[in-house]
C-alpha cells in the first residue's frame, strides 16, 4: 500500500455542540459519524457534548488524499482552538479511540480526563494486512457489501436478533457511508501507531470494552492499562465492538461516575 498522508483542513469540519457544562469531545468509529454519540444525550445535563465527523464521514467531505493519526490530531487541535476549547474531557471508540490516544499523548495539557472504548494504539500484523484488503473491497464493491460482517463485529448475536434502534442506526449509517471515505480511513488504521503517545498520557483514563469484544482488543486493553499510568479497565456486559451503542445505559452511568 502506498502511503502519502496529506494535511487535513479544519475548515471542512462542522462541530456539533449540545448541552451545558464541562466540555466532552467525542470521536466516533470507522464508518459512523457524529450522531453515533446521540445515545449519550442524558449526559448533556452536566456536560457539553462536542462531536464531529471524521474525513469522508457524515457531513465532513472527502479529504485531498490519505491521512494518518498525526493529521487527525493536528485537525482536532485546530478545531479545539477554533471552538475556544483550552482543556476538555476526550472520549473515542475504535478508530476514534486510537486518535484519542495519539492526541492525549501529543497534547496532554489539553486533556482533563480520557475515555478509550474498544480500541487499540496499533493493530497487530494480521489486522494491519487486512485493512488494505477492506479498503479495496469498499472501493470495488461498496461499503454496503461489508455490512453483514461489520454488524457481526459491532453487536452480539442477541442484539442483532432483536434488531433494535441502535443496530438499525449502525446499518443505515454504513449504507450511507462514502466508499472512498471508508477506504481512506481503513488505510489510516493500517498505519496507525500511537504506542509512544499512549506512554505519554497523563490524564486519568478509563479503558472500556465490550465483554464479547475480540481477543486483539482485549489484549490491547491490557497493554493500555499497563502503559497509561493510573488507568483502569471496565468491561461493558453483553456487548461487542460498538459497546456504546449496544449498552448505552450502562455506559452513561459509568461515564458519569468517572467524569464527576
63 near 184, Cβ under 8 Å? yes
**Cell digits of residue 228:** 497509561
pLDDT the model gives residue 178: 98
Q: Measured in Å, how far apart are the chain's first and last C-alpha atoms?
A: 44
Strands (E) across 96-149 are located at: 111-117
Structurally, how many domains does the chain consist of?
Answer: 1
Average pLDDT over residues 200-210: 98
Assess if residue 112 is contained within a domain.
yes
Assess if residue 27 is contained within a domain.
yes
Please state, rounded to an integer, the average pLDDT across all residues of the chain.
Answer: 98
Assess if residue 2 is contained within a domain.
no
Assess if residue 4 is contained within a domain.
no
Nearest Cα neighbor of 169 from 58, 50, 62, 44 is 58
Give the global pTM. 0.98
Find the angle CA(202)-CA(210)-CA(238) to the nearest 5 degrees.
150
102 near 197, Cβ under 8 Å? yes
pLDDT the model gives residue 1: 86
Widest CA span of the chain, in angstroms?
A: 47
pLDDT tens for 91-150 read: 999 999 999 999 999 999 999 999 999 999 999 999 999 999 999 999 999 999 999 999
**Cell digits of residue 230:** 493510573
Give me the percent of the chain exceeding a pLDDT of 90.
Answer: 99
Assess if residue 3 is contained within a domain.
no
User: In Å, what is the CA distance from 254 to each residue of 105, 207, 251, 258?
Assistant: 23, 11, 5, 6
Assess if residue 176 is contained within a domain.
yes
Task: Return the H-helix or E-strand segment holding 205.
Answer: strand 205-210
Assess if residue 5 is contained within a domain.
no
**Which residue range is the domain that position 32 belongs to?**
10-259
Residue 67 has pLDDT above 90, yes or no: yes
Residue 66 has pLDDT above 90, yes or no: yes
Assess if residue 129 is contained within a domain.
yes
202 near 108, Cβ under 8 Å? yes
pLDDT tens for 31-52 read: 999 999 999 999 999 999 999 9
The Cα 174–Cα 77 span in angstroms is: 27
DSSP characters over 17-71: EESSSEEEEEE--TT--GGGGGGGGGGGGTEEEEE-PPTTSTTSPP-SS---HHH
Residues 6+ apart with CB under 8 A from 99: 27, 69, 72, 73, 76, 92, 194
135 near 181, Cβ under 8 Å? no
240 near 27, Cβ under 8 Å? no
Average pLDDT over residues 245-257: 98
The backbone torsions φ and ψ at residue 90, rounded to the nearest 5 degrees and listed phi first, read -135, 135
Q: What is the CATH number of the domain that holds 185?
A: 3.40.50.1820
Residue 196 has pLDDT above 90, yes or no: yes
Amino acid at each position: 500500500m502506498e502511503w502519502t498522508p496529506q494535511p487535513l483542513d479544519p475548515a471542512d469540519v462542522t462541530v456539533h455542540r449540545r448541552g451545558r457544562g464541562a466540555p466532552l469531545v467525542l470521536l466516533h468509529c470507522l464508518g459512523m459519524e457524529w450522531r453515533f454519540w446521540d445515545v449519550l444525550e442524558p449526559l448533556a445535563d452536566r456536560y457539553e457534548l462536542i462531536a464531529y465527523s471524521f474525513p469522508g464521514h457524515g457531513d465532513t467531505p472527502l479529504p485531498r488524499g490519505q491521512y494518518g493519526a498525526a493529521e487527525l490530531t493536528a485537525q482536532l487541535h485546530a478545531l479545539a482552538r477554533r471552538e475556544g476549547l483550552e482543556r476538555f474531557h476526550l472520549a473515542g471508540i475504535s478508530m476514534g479511540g486510537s486518535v484519542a490516544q495519539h492526541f492525549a499523548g501529543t497534547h496532554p495539557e489539553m486533556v482533563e480526563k480520557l475515555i478509550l472504548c474498544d480500541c487499540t494504539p496499533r493493530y497487530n500484523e494480521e489486522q494491519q494486512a487486512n485493512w488494505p484488503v477492506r479498503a479495496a473491497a469498499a472501493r470495488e464493491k461498496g461499503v454496503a457489501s461489508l455490512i453483514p460482517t461489520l454488524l457481526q463485529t459491532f453487536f452480539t448475536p442477541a442484539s442483532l436478533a432483536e434488531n433494535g434502534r441502535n443496530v438499525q442506526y449502525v446499518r443505515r449509517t454504513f449504507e450511507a457511508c462514502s466508499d472512498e471515505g471508508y477506504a481512506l480511513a481503513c488505510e489510516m488504521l493500517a498505519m496507525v501507531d500511537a504506542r509512544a503517545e499512549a506512554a505519554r498520557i497523563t490524564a486519568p483514563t478509563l479503558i472500556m470494552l465490550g465483554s464479547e469484544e475480540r481477543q486483539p482488543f482485549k489484549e490491547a486493553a491490557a497493554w493500555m492499562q499497563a502503559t497509561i499510568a493510573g488507568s483502569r479497565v471496565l468491561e461493558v456486559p453483553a456487548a461487542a465492538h460498538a459497546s456504546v451503542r449496544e449498552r448505552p445505559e450502562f455506559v452513561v452511568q459509568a461515564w458519569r461516575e468517572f467524569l464527576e
